[in-house]
Amino acid sequence: MMTGPSCAMAGAVYLGGASPDRTREQEVERVLALGASHLADHRRPDGSGWITLADPEGNEFCILSRDPAGSGATT
């Protein structure tokens, strides 16, 4: 997971974490159910990329794939 506007802002705080039992898409569904808002989708056909979301207070964060590029399809 990354944080900050568009996940690429200088001076932003970046946190890392991994979900060993969920895909990127499953994790996005989980945080949406917890109250996050979907802001942007930066997934690529090779499976790389990220999804930008915001928590209920408007703090942006991104969820990336745990698998390397080219390891699976996107939805």
21-62 pLDDT tens trace: 888 899 999 999 999 999 999 999 988 889 999 999 998 889
69 within domain boundaries = no
Total domains present in the chain: 1
Residues with Cβ within 8 Å of 57's Cβ and at least 6 positions away in sequence, in order, are none
Q: Are the beta carbons of 60 and 7 closer than 8 angstroms?
A: yes
Between 73 and 57, the higher pLDDT residue = 57
Q: 75 in a domain, yes or no?
A: no
The values of phi and psi at residue 19, to 5°, are -110, 100
pTM equals 0.70
Does 70 map to a domain? Answer: no
Cα(30)–Cα(27) distance, integer angstroms: 5
Q: Is residue 56, in this structure, part of any structural domain at all?
A: yes
Residue 40's domain spans which residues?
2-64
- Rounded to whole angstroms, the maximal C-alpha distance in the chain is 34
Q: Are 40 and 13 in contact (CB under 8 A)?
A: no
pLDDT score at 5: 45
Average pLDDT over residues 6-33: 77
